[in-house]
Each structure stands twice: as structure tokens, then as C-alpha cells.
Amino acid sequence: MPHADSLDLAALVEPDRVHRSVYADPAIFDREMARIHERVWIYCGHLSQVPKPGDYYAVQVGRQPMLLVRGKDGQAHVLYNRCPHRGNMMCGDRSGNTGDHFRCSYHSWTFHHDGTLRNIPMMDSGYAGTRLDRDSADCSMKRAARVAVYRGFVFASLAAEGPSLEEFLGPARIAFDDMCDRAPQGEVEIVPICYRVVQKSNWKIFLENQLDALHPSVTHQSTGRAALDVETEIAKATGEAPLSYHMLSAFASVTIDKWDAFQTLNYPYGHCILTGYMGLRPKDPDTLAYEAVMEKAYGATRAAEILAVNIHHVLLYPGLSVQSALQQLRAVRPLGVDRTLTEIWHFRLKGAPEPIYRRSLAYYNLVNSPATVVNADDLENFWKCHQGLSSDGGDWVSFQRHFGRDVERDGVVETTMGTSEAPMRNQMKAWAQYMARA
Amino acid sequence: MARRKASRKATRPARPKLATRTRAATTRGRAPARPAAAGDTLRAVEQFLYRQAELLDSKRWQEYIDLFAPGGIYWMPAEPSQTTWEGVPAIFAEDRNLMVVRMKRVQHPDAWSQRPLWGTNHLVSNVTIERESAREVVARSRFHMMELRRDDVRHFAGSYVHHLVRTGETFRITLQRVDPVNAQATYDYVLQVWV
């Protein structure tokens, strides 16, 4: 395997294929953490995760252990989880409340919620005549270079320079607009449970799978068939099966040729959208009741606009996969070249009737729980992919499906075929651009 | 209710029970601390739990599902403080219909993640009866499950709470709560079938 330093990184990514070392070389992994994840906007959490002053969540940004914390002023701060004195981690738990201030467990240096120094024990007796300056940045917890919030979703960038969050998100911010607009109150609230699943594969393999419209009918055939059988039985017995069966049986009932009817939209910075296919707007009483609440909240015209948005998946490269219509997201935390953690969260539409929450909850449990009958087979593929790409059995990964048939308009690539590998090509294009910047 | 209790009592002496004899030996000369029925129930519940574990480990999925009453629920909370399976995230919250989906999927020839050999070994112990009536029993126990998948060994351990309804000589499950101690830990690969 050639090493990153001796490699022409540009030569590893061609418009329609990618060299396997991009996935398997640890030196390339280190460089992409430095040049991508530790520079771009990375999702840290939702404001409703840290409702009270002092509430914090530990979050990994690239290789950096960070803390998302709510300050007394209501602001969300993102700090390195490190005491400036001797380097001790400030918080050892995944989440909690730090009280009025952070206090280091080693020598009791204390810090305000925004990271600035509060107190150093023995400041006068111990440090008089030394060069320690309590007003210097060296005596405060280091802050993420930039923090920004979009509709309650908190992002941090560890680079001082770069596009603003809104510019970075671009049209893909519809991931959050679609999710929040579906709430009669215009905002969502986190469900305080996180499923955490480790994939034994490179982080890009997961992201490339998210909008791969050909894989469901192959990978998830067994679950689709099983769910279709039971759905049919229930329908025979009671007239209609719950929508959750349809969410699973769609893997089998939407056959390969039908996937081409859907569309992908591919934006700058590697973001992509796959349009919806599950038909989540049935005419059942629950849906109709919810739509009535929406009309009351927004007026008929605006409500119709919101409910007409039909998105299955929005991928915000390089770290987030959002299913806005089902109010869930998966944050990608690379742990190493061959290990990736996904943190999977569900949100509640504020002001929506309970059955609408229950419906998306069923999907969250079936698809994303640690006992999922769906992602199990994806994880198997991810591991197998990484094994193959670590071998000398071949050098290239092909992204040639429907290559040359995409339509580009104002920097946005639209596919005419849903099974196009345009989303993978778009992600790798952004990857190459990021990696080329010193 | 009272009549049913009386009739059960009337039939009991005809069936020799090991547990009854054991307690008689240890409480010689004194009245038993609990009615004799408690020991019978404990032993019957233990045998039921062992059978359930054996069905899992020998992959007899349909027989396993049949241990559940119509409307019975297999529930693994996402978080130990949860008090209901409804309306909250759950690692498992399955009625018999969803259990059949899981079984059929596992048996499908294209369930890719099921192709490598895997096996489990369950141990069930620390069985106590929390409540019982003529119709129902609530039993608490502890489990340890070792799983081998390819060359990887995983361990899951925790507690079971079985809500059982008496059906003749045995039971059916109306609710089984499973709390692994590592419920909120990361999952290296996922759980494929019930624990």
C-alpha cells in the first residue's frame, strides 16, 4: 500500500472510480481527519439535548474529544474536553450536568461554561513570580474555532476560516427545514435515547451506502420478503397492517427497476438528497388528523407545501445522514481507518399528535435499534467491503453506474435514474477538493 | 377466582413435587413459611425459563415464539429507567407478528449477515417469584448469554422479568422484559434474535 505522503492524492480519485487506498490506508485516514473532519462543520447535537445551564454532552469531532455545553446565558458552547493545566479530561461521562462551572478532578482548576478560567487554586501563593498568566488563553479550556446553530442543530468547526454554516449546508439545509417545518410548532425536540452502533469499516463506506438506491432490494431482500408475508397475513385477518410493515416490505415490493423512478440531487461540498419512495402520506385517520393540525398552524397553502416535500434521505457530507420525514439522523464518528461509530437519534415534532411520533418511532426501532432487522445486513456488507478493499485483489472501486448521464444545472447534479452512482461520485469529488487544500 | 383456587388446591396432593419435599425437610417440625404452592410455582417457572433458553440456543424459533401468549410482548428497553415499552425507543418491542418477521428473515437464504455460523449459550439463574395469583406469575431472573459469530465472542448479561399466565401445567408469556447491563453501550454488530 503506498503512503499518503508519497501519493498524488488527486490521482486516487477519478470522476468515475476511486483508488482503494482512500478507504484502507491509515495515513490517508489521518490526513482526512486533519483536512476534512477537523475543518468542516460537524454536527455536535441538538439544543434540546442540553436544555439547562451546565448540561453537557461529550462528542467526537474528527479525532478531538469535545464537549457541547449549555451556558448560563443560554448559549451553546463547544469546548475541547481538556484541562489546560495538565491535560486531564474535564468530563469523563458521556453526558451530565456540570453545575455552575467545570471543575477538574485532578487539581481543582475551575472554568465557566464558555471555557474561560474561573479559578486556579493557590493562584497567589503558588504562581507568584512564574510566567503563568491567568488571563492568557493558555489558562482557559480551548473552544472550537466556530460554533453555529441552524434550527436548533448545533455544529462546530475546528477551523477559524471557511464557509459559514448556512453557506456550507446550502440547499441541503432542507434536511432541517423539512424536519422542523413538519412540526406544527416549527421545531423538534430530541428523544433522549441514542443508539450507538460500531461499523467495522471505513466511514465513507457507510455514507456511500445511504443514497445507494440499488442496494435495498438486494441487501434487504430477506427482511422485505419476511415483512411482506406477515403484512399480507395481517391484512387478510384485519383488513390493514400497520404502516411499519410497509416500511420494511418496501425493500421487497419496490423492485430494482422501480428504484430508477426516484431521483438524487447532488450539491457542492458533497451533500446529496434521495427523494422519497415509501409513500408516507397515506389517507388514514392519523395522517388526516395531523394534516388538519398542520393546516391550523400554517394555513392551508403553506401546510400543503410542507407536506408535499418528499425526501427519503439527506446526506450532509462528511458526517450526517438525515431522514427528515421520519425525524431521525445518524451522526458519523470515524474511530479509525476501519472503525466507525454511528450515533442514531430520533426527534419529536413539537405540537404533532402522538400517533405521528409513534409511526416514526416504529421506523427508528426497526431500522436503527441495536436489534435491527435491516442495518444488520448493511453492517455485514460494510465489513466485507472493508476486508476486500484492504486486500491486493484489485486497486479500484467503481462508481460508473449511469456515469455520463447526469444533468448538471447551476452546480447541482441531478440524476435521471435513481440507481445512478452520482451521489458517490459527488461525495468523492468533494473529498478530493478538501484533501487538496494544504 | 376463589373457586378456581380451591379446585387447584384440591388436586395438588396427587402430584409428588420435589420442591415440596425439600422444603418439608428443611422446615421440619414447623409450619412452612410460605404456602406449598410457592415452591411448585418456582420450580415450574424455572423449568419454563430453562426451556425458553434451550429453544433459543437450539434455534427453534417457532417453538420459541409459541411460548408467547396472543398479544404477548418481547421487550428490551433502551434504557433501564423505562417503565413501558409503548411510545419510547426500545431495542426490541415485538409482538408475535414482528417476531415472525424476525424469524422469517433469519431463515431466508439471502439474509447475508446470517450466513456466517453463529451460536449462543444462555444460562438462566437467580430465579425468584415476585408476585403470583391463580392466573398469573411475575418472575425475575438473571441471564448470561455468550455468542460466537465467526471468530468473535460477545457477552450479554442482565435480568429477565417474565409476566406469565398459567395455561394448564405450564405458562405463556404476556410480557418479557430483558435488561442487559450493556443496553446503552455501543454495539459491535447488532443483536440478531432474541436474547
Grid cell for residue A102: 467545570
| pLDDT at residue A6 in the model | 53
Distance CA A428, CA B158 (A): 44
Distance CA A379, CA B138 (A): 37
**DSSP per position, B14-82:** GS--HHHHHHHHHTTTS--SS-HHHHHHHHHHHHHHHHHHHHHHTT-HHHHHTTEEEEEEEEEESSTT-
The per-residue pLDDT for range A319-330, each reduced to its tens digit, is 999 999 999 999
B/e letters for A128-163, b = 16+ CB within 10 Å, e = fewer, are eeeeeeeeeeebbbbbbebbbebbbbbbbbbeeebe
Residue A61 in contact with partner chain B when CB distance is under 8 A: no
B-chain residues near A219 (CB < 8 A): 112
Q: Is the pLDDT of residue B13 over 60?
A: no
Angle (CA) A11 A16 A19, round 5°: 40
> How many C-beta atoms lie closer than 10 Å to residue A268's C-beta?
19
Query: Residue written as cell 491567568?
Result: A134
Distance CA A295, CA A298 (A): 5
Q: Across A2-11, A106-115, A356-365, which has the greatest mean pLDDT?
A: A106-115
Sheet of strand A396-398: strand arrangement: A13-14, A17-19, A396-398
| pLDDT at residue A372 in the model | 92
Disruptive mutation site among A198, A217, A222, A382 for chain B (greatest number of B CBs within 10 Å): A222
Q: Across-strand partners of A264? A: A274
**Which residues touch B68 (CB under 8 Å, ≥6 apart)?**
B74, B96, B99, B172, B173, B174, B176
What does the pLDDT average to over B43-54?
97
Alpha carbon A414 to its chain centroid, in Å, reads 22
Q: At what angle do helices A243-253 and A221-238 cross, to 10 degrees?
A: 130
Distance, in angstroms, between B47 CA and closest chain A CA?
27
Q: Place B37 in a pLDDT band, splitting at 50, 70 and 90.
A: low
Distance CA A384, CA B180 (A): 28
Q: Is the pLDDT of residue A277 over 70?
A: no
Q: Is the pLDDT of residue A348 over 80?
A: yes
Q: Place A53 in a pLDDT band, splitting at 50, 70 and 90.
A: very high
Strand ranges in A173-277 using DSSP code E only, listed in sequence order? 188-199, 264-266, 272-275
How many residues does the structure list for chain B? 195
Distance CA B108, CA B61 (A): 13
A390 in Cβ contact with A374 (< 8 Å): no
Rg (CA), chain A: 23
Distance CA A397, CA A381 (A): 15
Query: Of A401, A390, A4, A8, which Cα lies nearest the Cα of A205?
Result: A390
A365 in Cβ contact with B93 (< 8 Å): yes
Query: Of A140, A156, A165, which Cα lies nearest the Cα of A62?
Result: A156
CATH class of B2-180: alpha beta
Q: What is the pTM of this model?
A: 0.90
Alpha carbon A378 to its chain centroid, in Å, reads 17
Task: Give yes or no for a cis peptide into B35 (omega within 30° of 0).
Answer: no
Distance CA A170, CA A271 (A): 9
Parallel/antiparallel/unpaired status of strands A188-199 and A264-266: unpaired
Q: Place A336 in a pLDDT band, splitting at 50, 70 and 90.
A: very high
All domains in chain A, ordered by first residue:
42-150 (2.102.10.10), 170-213+260-436 (3.90.380.10)
Distance CA A210, CA A188 (A): 23
B-chain residues near A364 (CB < 8 A): 89
Q: State which amino acid sits at residue B192.
A: Q
Show which of residues 85-124 on chain B sit within 8 Å of chain A, judged by CB atoms: 87-93, 97-98, 100-105, 108-114
User: pLDDT averaged over chain A?
Assistant: 93
Grid cell for residue A309: 416535500
What does the pLDDT average to over A65-90?
97
The answer to whether the CB atoms of A370 and B187 lie below 8 A apart is: yes
Rg (CA), chain B: 19
Q: Is the pLDDT of residue B7 over 90?
A: no
A-chain residues near B73 (CB < 8 A): none
B170 in Cβ contact with B161 (< 8 Å): no
What does the pLDDT average to over A80-87?
98
Distance CA A210, CA A321 (A): 7
Q: Is the pLDDT of residue A99 over 50?
A: yes
Distance, in angstroms, between A226 CA and closest chain B CA?
5
What's the maximum distance between 2 C-alpha atoms anywhere in chain B? Answer: 64
A282 vs B72 pLDDT, higher one: B72
**DSSP per position, B119-139:** EEEEEEEEEEEEEE-SSEEEE
Q: Place A5 in a pLDDT band, splitting at 50, 70 and 90.
A: low
- Least confident stretch, A9-13, A348-352, B118-122: A9-13
B34 in Cβ contact with B40 (< 8 Å): no
Grid cell for residue A65: 474529544
Reported ipTM:
0.91
- Least confident stretch, A235-239, A248-252, B124-128: A248-252
The residue of chain A with its CA nearest to that of B115 is: A380
Q: Is the pLDDT of residue B133 over 60?
A: yes
User: Collapsing DSSP states into helix, strand and coil, what is residue A226?
Assistant: helix
Grid cell for residue A183: 412540526
A275 in Cβ contact with A178 (< 8 Å): no
The residue of chain A with its CA nearest to that of B187 is: A197
What does the pLDDT average to over B15-39?
45
The per-residue pLDDT for range A357-376, each reduced to its tens digit, is 999 999 899 999 999 999 98
A315 in Cβ contact with A423 (< 8 Å): yes
Distance CA A125, CA B5 (A): 80
The answer to whether the CB atoms of A221 and B110 lie below 8 A apart is: yes
Query: Of B10, B179, B183, which Cα lies nearest the Cα of B83?
Result: B179
Angle (CA) A33 A35 A38, round 5°: 60
Distance CA A199, CA A334 (A): 9
Query: Of A59, A44, A80, which Cα lies nearest the Cα of A320?
Result: A44
Disruptive mutation site among B110, B145, B156, B176 for chain A (greatest number of A CBs within 10 Å): B110
Q: Place A142 in a pLDDT band, splitting at 50, 70 and 90.
A: very high
